[in-house]
Amino acid sequence: MDIHKVRAQFPALLRRQDGKPVIHLDGPGGTQVPQTVIDAMSRPLAEGQSNLGGPFSSSAESDQVVADARSAVADLLNANSDEVAFGQNMTSLTFAVSRAIASTWQPGDEIVLTRLDHDANVAPWLRAAEERGVTVKWVGVQDFGINWDDLDAALGSSTRLVAVTAASNALGSVVDVAEVARRAHDVGALVYVDGVHYVPHESTDVAAFDADFFVCSAYKFYGPHIGLLYGKREHLRTLPAYKVRPAPDTGPGRWETGTQSFESIAGVVATVDYLAAFGEGDDRRQKLVSAYEEIGQHERRLSDRFLSGLAELDGVKLHGRREGRRTPTFALEFPGQKPRDVAVELARQGIYVTDGDYYAVEVMRSLGQADSGGLVRIGFVHYSTEEEVDQTLNALDRLS
């Protein structure tokens, strides 16, 4: 992968601070956007767009944009286009779907949540469980991943749902979602997967996962602020969607409340095509799988380089895996220093990182960091460079 050619496609990477290039390491909270996506979003705004279903060209163009986007996301996730719905973001979609799923629960039912998850895949289910009188069982964090013994102990004949992340947005740990789904389905439970931090880094195959639902957000993988929902066809068809009466009674449109952001949906198509351009194959799905192999190789080099340099630093503690499947996302503790102070100092040097809990509330509680301001999060993505890794390590060395 020609990293210079990659970076040239991102106008935001030209940002300067005090005359020096900025280093964007806040990707886990939202990535930058290539010019092709910006152009795709600008086009309908400039040329005119209309709502769906009208007997005129601008409406037909919106219809086509939505159809193209469903097809693009289906290729991205290895799904069918009629299993893809759009929403404001992953959190809003999860609140909506949780309400629908919870309507089928009865007192005495149980759901299983993991402490590895982002709160967007925790809080909606807690609220739904409270409203329906359903018991919540927790799966703890072990070795920075899921505690499998906890999961087995939590599952039973009363389990109706397991909510799990595919990758921790705080620790970078990748979860064996297919194994979670197998165990959950053995007791008849649905599986709802938060893929927000997974999709930017790994090729996604919801069919192989056997997930009942999979949600992600395009702004985490170089696209616009819009949420994407995959649901197995039978679930999207039969669950009671909370919608206005004129909305479709069939298909994914019954889950898309209100008028969608057509410019963002157009951006989704361009985002998927941007990713596919890195790969080779006879169709877009094959190109995407190939592209993620290329992206993964680059990101693993960055991870290895960062972990190697981090091991030589005193005064910095990594909360996360040094080996095994992980994304290039790192949670760091600086004993004796507040995470916000560290982030402010790095920002002063033009290195943009996040601090706090990043909405991974249960993760921070599990690590004992909830009351101390959380941790500092550094996240590399495919447009990050080895030089940026080295500059960041040097800055951390000075801080520690």
CB-based contacts of 6: which residues, under 8 Å, 6+ apart? 382, 383
Q: How many CB atoms lie within 10 A of CB 372?
A: 12
What single-letter amino acid sits at 271?
Answer: T
- Residue 57 and residue 74: Cα distance in Å, rounded? 26
Reduced 3-state DSSP string for the chain: CCHHHHHCCCHHHHCEECCEECEECEHHHCCCCCHHHHHHHHHHHHHCCCCCCCCCHHHHHHHHHHHHHHHHHHHHHCCCHHHEEEECCHHHHHHHHHHHHHCCCCCCCEEEEECCCCHHHCHHHHHHHHHHCCEEEEECEECCEECHHHHHHHCCCCEEEEEEECECCCCCEECCHHHHHHHHHHCCCEEEEECCCCCCCCCCCHHHHCCCEEEEEHHHCCCCCCEEEEECHHHHHHCCCCCCCCCCCCCHHHHCCCCCCHHHHHHHHHHHHHHHCCCCCCCHHHHHHHHHHHHHHHHHHHHHHHHHHHCCCCCCEEECCCCCCECCEEEEECCCCCHHHHHHHHHHCCEECEEECCCCHHHHHHHCCCCCCCEEEEECCCCCCHHHHHHHHHHHHHHC
Nearest CA-CA partner of 119 in 354, 361, 357: 361
Q: Which domains does the chain have, with CATH numbers?
A: 3-33+286-399 (3.90.1150.10), 40-276 (3.40.640.10)
- Residue 130 and residue 115: Cα distance in Å, rounded? 18
pLDDT of residue 400: 84
What is the C-alpha end-to-end distance of the chain, expressed in Å? Answer: 33
> For every one of its 400 residues, what pLDDT tens digit does the chain have, with 9 covering 90 and above?
899 999 999 999 999 999 999 999 999 999 999 999 999 999 999 999 899 999 999 999 999 999 999 999 999 999 999 999 999 999 999 999 999 999 999 999 999 999 999 999 999 999 999 999 999 999 999 999 999 999 999 999 999 999 999 999 999 999 999 999 999 999 999 999 999 999 999 999 999 999 999 999 999 999 999 999 999 999 999 999 999 999 999 899 999 998 999 999 999 999 999 999 999 999 999 999 999 999 999 999 999 999 999 999 999 999 999 999 999 999 999 999 999 999 999 999 999 999 999 999 999 999 999 999 999 999 999 999 999 999 999 999 999 8
- Residue 227 and residue 264: Cα distance in Å, rounded? 10
Residue 342 tokens, joined: 């560290």
CB-based contacts of 339: which residues, under 8 Å, 6+ apart? 333, 355, 356, 372, 373, 374, 375, 376
Question: Contact at 8 Å (CB) between 76 and 230?
Answer: no
The radius of gyration of the chain from alpha carbons, rounded to an integer in Å, stands at 21
CB contact burial 144-179 (16+ within 10 A = b; e otherwise):
bbbbeebbeebbeebbbbbbbbbbbbbbbbbbebee
Question: Contact at 8 Å (CB) between 331 and 319?
Answer: yes
- Residue 9 and residue 197: Cα distance in Å, rounded? 22
- Residue 117 and residue 168: Cα distance in Å, rounded? 6
- Residue 329 and residue 339: Cα distance in Å, rounded? 16
